[in-house]
Amino acid sequence: MNLSIVIPLLNEEDSLEELFSRIDNVCRASSLSYEIWFVDDGSTDLSWSIIENLKVQHPQIHGIKFSRNYGKSQALHAAFSRTNGDVVITMDADLQDFPEEIPELYNMVVNDNYDIVSGWKKKRFDNVMTKNVPSKLFNAAARKVSGVYLHDFNCGLKAYKRQVVKSVDVYGDMHRYIPVLAANAGFRRITEKEVQHQARPYGTSKFGTERFIRGFLDLVTLWFVSRFGGRPMHFFGAVGTLMFIFGFLSALWLGISKLIDVARGIYGHLITNNPWFFIALTMMIMGTLLFVAGFLGEMIIRTNREHKNYNIDEVI
């Protein structure tokens, strides 16, 4: 199979039939064999019923129905494990992405041998203050921290080699950082393609400005995990050891100073009256705690942590 197209959705009943029709026309015109995985992330409208009806008429359609809203990352995780295409394309269901981009994205992965081709919505039709400006700031910070130079990390339209989606574990809110996760896993041939964007023709956006706050927090997490996730002792252990040594040497200096005073016949100066005593004690305690945190982290990553924190009602 040439293509697997993964489409997470939440309350998009108005756009699903038109979206499928456009995808089908494009793939047939390009002679691409394909399957579509719709992931209903807890819709409360008729979205799932429409998917079921489409499935009856078109066997290349598949659907996954979540018991409630879990988020885009979980939707992608559920679909990625079931895809069969050589190239996997993700896109949103709101018709802001153009299915007509699919053949060129596919060719860039297959013919140009890219691991990931990320869409770049250079000209956006969103609110300037609530989406465009925050998005530019977010993408600039993501490029600086991650070292992956894309203009639009959050664009839902992306194409991946099959090996990428089978190797990368998408969890939490990390869907926007799949290129970074892939780069950390050794998939370095990452590029971007300028894609068309249009205003949403139906419904309202499911994402508010709070997604940028979560995005920045996820970026900090990703930076830390990419550098120390495999060896937490290298961070916590090193910092904890340095703090403990500093505290121990400070306590040792206080003890030696006290002995020197006693040898000189100077009495009455209590070590506990010296602020350095409490600084040294605090540093030793914190150093020990950080060292233990690093040790526990090493033990945790040796277990097979499962990120499948969602419930599936139905798969068709």
Task: Break the chain into its structural domains and give their ranges.
Answer: 3-229, 232-301
Least confident of 210-219, 232-241, 289-298: 210-219
Mean pLDDT on 39-61: 95
User: By percentage, how much of the chain surpasses pLDDT 70?
Assistant: 86
Q: What is the pTM of this model?
A: 0.74
The Cα–Cα gap between 170 and 88 comes to 14
* Amino acid identity, position 1: M
Specify the DSSP element, H or E, that contains 139.
Answer: helix 133-146
**Helix 47-57 to helix 16-29 angle, to the nearest 10 degrees?**
30
pLDDT at 191: 96
Q: Tell me, what's the pLDDT at 127?
A: 58
Q: Which of 94, 71, 66, 77 is CA-nearest to residue 169?
A: 77
Radius of gyration of the chain measured on its C-alpha atoms = 27
Tell whether the model's pLDDT for residue 108 goes beyond 80: yes
Closest CA to 154 of 216, 80, 67, 74: 216
Q: What percent of the chain has pLDDT over 90?
A: 51
Range in 69-73, 286-290, 304-308 with the lowest mean pLDDT: 304-308
